[in-house]
Amino acid sequence: MATTTPNHACDFCGKSKEDVEKLIVGEHSAICNDCIDLCVDILKDENIKKNHGDQQLLNPSSIKDYLDEYVIGQDEAKIVLSVAVSQHFKRINNPSKDIRLEKTNMLLLGPTGCGKTMMVRKVAEFLNVPFAICDATSITEAGYVGDDVESILLQLINAADGDIKKAERGIVYIDEIDKIARKGENLSITRDVSGEGVQQALLKLIEGGLVRVPFSGKRKHPGGDAQEIDTGSILFICGGAFVGLDKIIEKRLHSRSVGFHSEISTKQQKKNYYNLASTRDVIQFGFIPEFVGRFGLLANVNELEIDDLVRVLKEPKNSLIKQYQYIFKLDHIELQFEDAALSMIAKKAKELETNARGLKNIIEKVLLPYQFDAVNLVSRGLKKILISTDTIAGTSPAIMIFNKTVNEKTK
Ligand X SMILES: Nc1ncnc2c1ncn2[C@@H]1O[C@H](COP(=O)(O)OP(=O)(O)O)[C@@H](O)[C@H]1O
87 or 300: CB nearest ligand X:
300
Work out whether 72 is an interface residue with ligand X (CB under 6 A).
yes
Work out whether 322 is an interface residue with ligand X (CB under 6 A).
no
How far is it, in rounded angstroms, from Cα 378 to Cα 385?
11
Kindly state the smallest distance separating residue 112's Cβ from Mg ion, in Å.
Answer: 7
Work out whether 44 is an interface residue with ligand X (CB under 6 A).
no
Work out whether 117 is an interface residue with Mg ion (CB under 5 A).
yes
Using the rule CB under 6 A, give the single segment among 67-75, 216-224, 257-265, 285-293 that binds ligand X.
Answer: 67-75
Q: Maximum distance among all alpha carbons in the chain?
A: 90
Work out whether 357 is an interface residue with ligand X (CB under 6 A).
yes
Work out whether 385 is an interface residue with ligand X (CB under 6 A).
no
Kindly state the smallest distance separating residue 387's Cβ from ligand X, in Å.
Answer: 19
What residue 286 binds from Mg ion, ligand X, none (CB within 5 to 8 A, per partner kind)? none
**Cα pseudo-dihedral 78, 80, 84, 90, rounded to 10:** 80
The identity of residue 236, as a single letter, is F
Q: Which residues between 125 and 154 bind ligand X (CB under 6 A)?
A: none
Nearest of 281, 252, 136, 108 to residue 200 by alpha carbon = 136
The identity of residue 353, as a single letter, is E
How far is it, in rounded angstroms, from Cα 31 to Cα 37?
10
Q: Quick one: 100 exposed, middle or buried, by C-beta within 10 A (0-12, 13-18, 19+)?
A: exposed
Kindly state the smallest distance separating residue 348's Cβ from ligand X, in Å.
Answer: 15
Using the rule CB under 5 A, give the single segment among 99-107, 164-172, 174-182, 338-346 that binds Mg ion.
Answer: 174-182
| Residues 6+ away with beta carbon under 8 Å from 3 | 25
Work out whether 240 is an interface residue with ligand X (CB under 6 A).
no
How far is it, in rounded angstroms, from Cα 398 to Cα 396?
7
Quick check: 286 and 192 in contact, CB under 8 A? yes
Work out whether 83 is an interface residue with ligand X (CB under 6 A).
no
Work out whether 325 is an interface residue with Mg ion (CB under 5 A).
no
The tally of CA atoms less than 13 A away on the side-chain side of residue 124 is 25
Candidate residues 113, 170, 286, 397; the one interacting with ligand X per rule CB under 6 A: 113
Residues that bind ligand X (CB under 6 A): 71-74, 112-118, 301, 312, 316, 356-357
Residues that bind Mg ion (CB under 5 A): 116-117, 175
